[in-house]
Amino acid sequence: MDYTFTFLGLDIPIIPVAWMLAKIVVVFAGVMGLSAVLTWAERKGAALIQDRIGPNRAKFIGNFRLFGIFHLAGDGLKLIFKEDLVPGHVSRWLFWIAPLLAFIPAMMGFAIVPFGQSFEWRDFTFHLSVIDPENGMGMLYPLAIAALAVYGIFTASWASNNKFSMLSGMRGAAHMVSYEIGLSLAVIAVFMQAGHYDPHRIIEAQTGLWNVFAQPVGFLVFLVCAFAETNRLPFDFAEGESEIVAGFLTEFSGMKLGFLWLSEYIHLVTISALMATLYFGGWKIPFMPDPVGLLSNWLGPWIGPWLGVLLSIAAFAAKLLAFCWFFIWVRWTLPRFRYDQLMFIGWKVMLPIGFANLLFYAWLIHRAAA
């Protein structure tokens, strides 16, 4: 069977291209949908923790309420149809571009994460991550994208041109750059343990023992820095609504505000996915190192592989959702730090611990090799 067709003089292999398009659509829709649902989960979770009922009024067709999940549609519609107010004192061009600068890097991060086990069909190998493995960029890619996340906050705050927003931008820039160092140090220890920096290899290296048990201290450093990187409580200094109004969000309204909000939740999804990949074995299921192979042996070559792939995707999704819930849980449990405490934790606690962790594993690996 011929798998290529010619278009504008180019031979295009149908199956890899179609697979790539399908992956892009699924990942884009999945991340967008999940982050939208998370806005509802945040409100419902807050209500749960504070012993309230939370959103429960929106109805859909008759009396169908479903725990108020239709508030989600209501929120979205409200944001879209609200008047798009551009205050007179803002930097107009940057004011328009800031929500995009927040949104685009947030969307890009997930592309490297493998969300299921790779499988073979006919002569092709299908990888369940938008960027195929062995690309040479590996886990450096999400770090690079995370480094860009700060521009959204920074541009939004500067474009807003008021004191509170400006303060928020400077806080955000300072703490995100500080905590990125701790984050990178924790990730480097994982690279050394796995002997590679490709996410597929890192997951493969966690067969039998997840990195969270192999490197508990590194995981703690990563977790704390992840909270800082996503601007979530107890580190939401850029927003800080009790201190600086709403920080960089103050002047925004309508769908611009929507994009800035949404990008926060997309960051949350991405960092949860990274945590699952780096420390919790990605799509791996405990005591089942190779679901596709195992189920193929049990159920035969027809249903087995597909069920195996679905099972691995479900395992990944379960870990991802657990971390998303953890972020919401912490947000409504812990109060915000003081600013000097934030800097103290970043530079004098997380950085030395990250370094010590790195050196310890370097020493272990050196001793094992000698």
Smallest separation, CB 150 to another protein (Å): 6
Burial class (CB in 10 A: 0-12, 13-18, 19+), 293: middle
Q: What residues contact 93, with CB distance under 8 A and at least 6 apart?
A: none
Smallest separation, CB 177 to another protein (Å): 6
Smallest separation, CB 128 to another protein (Å): 21
Closest by CA to 361, choosing from 207, 280, 369, is: 369
Contact track, another protein, 114-143, x by CB under 8 A: --------------------xxxxx-xx-x
Q: Which of 22, 53, 144, 359 binds another protein (CB under 8 A)?
A: 144
For another protein, the closer of residues 12 and 177 by Cβ is: 177
Work out whether 154 is an interface residue with another protein (CB under 8 A). yes
Smallest separation, CB 111 to another protein (Å): 13
How many amino acids of this chain bind another protein (CB under 8 A)? 29
Question: Which tokens belong to 40?
Answer: 């509802």
Work out whether 92 is an interface residue with another protein (CB under 8 A). no
Q: What is the residue whose two structure tokens read 């009922």?
A: 53
Work out whether 147 is an interface residue with another protein (CB under 8 A). yes
Burial class (CB in 10 A: 0-12, 13-18, 19+), 284: buried
Work out whether 91 is an interface residue with another protein (CB under 8 A). yes
For another protein, the closer of residues 135 and 333 by Cβ is: 135
- 325/334 Cα distance (integer angstroms): 14
Bridge partners, residue 124, by sequence? 121
Give the binding range for another protein (CB under 8 A) out of 75-83, 116-124, 174-182, 322-330.
174-182
Smallest separation, CB 229 to another protein (Å): 12
Smallest separation, CB 176 to another protein (Å): 8
C-alpha dihedral, 227 to 231 to 232 to 236, nearest 10°: 120
Closest by CA to 268, choosing from 327, 219, 186, 315, is: 327
- 190/359 Cα distance (integer angstroms): 12
Q: Which of 174, 294, 310, 321 binds another protein (CB under 8 A)?
A: 174
For another protein, the closer of residues 27 and 146 by Cβ is: 146
Work out whether 330 is an interface residue with another protein (CB under 8 A). no
Q: Which of 72, 113, 128, 150 binds another protein (CB under 8 A)?
A: 150
Q: Tally helices (H) and strands (E) across the chain.
A: 12, 4
Bridge partners, residue 10, by sequence? 7
- 225/368 Cα distance (integer angstroms): 30
Q: Are 9 and 19 in contact (CB under 8 A)?
A: no
Smallest separation, CB 131 to another protein (Å): 10
Smallest separation, CB 197 to another protein (Å): 6
Prior bond to 87 cis, omega within 30? no
Give the binding range for another protein (CB under 8 A) out of 44-52, 173-181, 274-282, 352-360.
173-181
| Size of the chain in residues | 370
Measured CA to CA in angstroms, residue 366 lies from 194, 290, 362, 370 at distances of 14, 30, 6, 6
Q: Is the dihedral of CA 46, 48, 51, 56 positive or negative?
A: positive
Work out whether 148 is an interface residue with another protein (CB under 8 A). yes
Question: Which tokens belong to 217?
Answer: 């201290």
Smallest separation, CB 100 to another protein (Å): 12
Work out whether 94 is an interface residue with another protein (CB under 8 A). yes
Contact track, another protein, 188-227, x by CB under 8 A: ---x-----x------------------------------
Site of interaction with another protein (CB under 8 A): 91, 93-94, 134-138, 140-141, 143-145, 147-148, 150-151, 154-155, 158, 166, 169-170, 173-174, 177, 180, 191, 197
